Amino acid sequence: MKTRLLGKTPEELTQIALEVGLPAFAGKQMAQWLYQKRIRSIDQMSNLSKQGREALVQRYEVGMIEPIDVQTSKDGTRKYLFPFEGLDYEAVMIPDEDRKTLCVSSQAGCKMACKFCMTGRQGFHGNLDAADILSQYFAVEEAGELTNTVFMGMGEPLDNWDQVKRVIEVLTAPWGLAWSPKRITLSTIGVLPKLKIFLDECKCHLAVSLHNPFPEERAQMMPVQKAWSETEIIRLLKQYDFTGQRRVSFEYTVFHGWNDTPSHARELIRLLSHLECRVNLIRFHRIPDFPYGPAEQKDMEAFRDLLTEGGITATIRASRGEDIFAACGLLAGKHKE
């Protein structure tokens, strides 16, 4: 089985070049072919010697994965399906005026098993490596037009941090896509040990999946609560400065009769006090065999207004791509019917 080049740094590519008899500077050339010219095959690396390319092909491949299915929503959202052993994974492109945001997956399935998430219901089928994740950026039709990205697709990014960190390096490095970290948001359920590493090492924005401020209620739907509670997560976040360029937000899916009462709003205000943050209220999308439904719009607005009155910036996120199962919590790695 050949080793994939996509996702490797110039230093690693230089070592590979030397191993196959190419000069050291070929490592930098390979990085340019991979990340700036976005080639699909080693044969396209035309400024490498033919002998060097032949030696590379014996042991390596670019490793770009092409989507096997694409669906387009009536609102312009597009969902791409990529192949993976056990369970295919998905990326979602969300257009919005002059922005095109790509929501990417970091795992096939998910270990976290949140009861209201279709991805979590699929179980865990494996970590995506850097080439799998970067393929989502390079193989979609809008690859050259993307303005932002969110690690909010299938899987828990911090549960696959080594590969996600490598991808973020490619996205932000001068030899890669040279994006500002401000264009990238990582969403997590709160894997506490890796969260601290992320906060110390990365300048990207952070979104935390909260969904309920009461520990015992959150544990009913989110098993991770038993390992890393929301109070521990927020205690850690309060040690960092979010008044500058890096932002933290909290994802709060609103369910009718479970987490949409004034007492939930008041507890959320108390929990997030003295933390510069935003709360994104998300409309729940119905899934089979789940006891709760979405909150009504008027109740979501009332909840938002209570948070605002309590000093918390809160917004109701517009739902996108629901008709093709591309909205929050609906990714399941399945072909269209």
Catalytic residue set: 90, 328
CB atoms within 10 A of CB 75: 16
Do the beta carbons of residue 62 and residue 40 sit within 8 Å? yes
What is the spatial distance between Cα 281 and Cα 330, in angstroms, rounded to a whole number? Answer: 16
Question: Cα separations (Å) of 256 from 162, 267, 299, 303?
Answer: 37, 17, 8, 12
Q: How many residues does the chain have?
A: 337
Helices 130-138 + 161-172 axis angle, to 10? 40
What is the spatial distance between Cα 14 and Cα 250, in angstroms, rounded to a whole number? Answer: 41
Longest CA pairwise span in the chain (Å): 70
Q: What element of type H or E holds 102?
A: strand 99-103
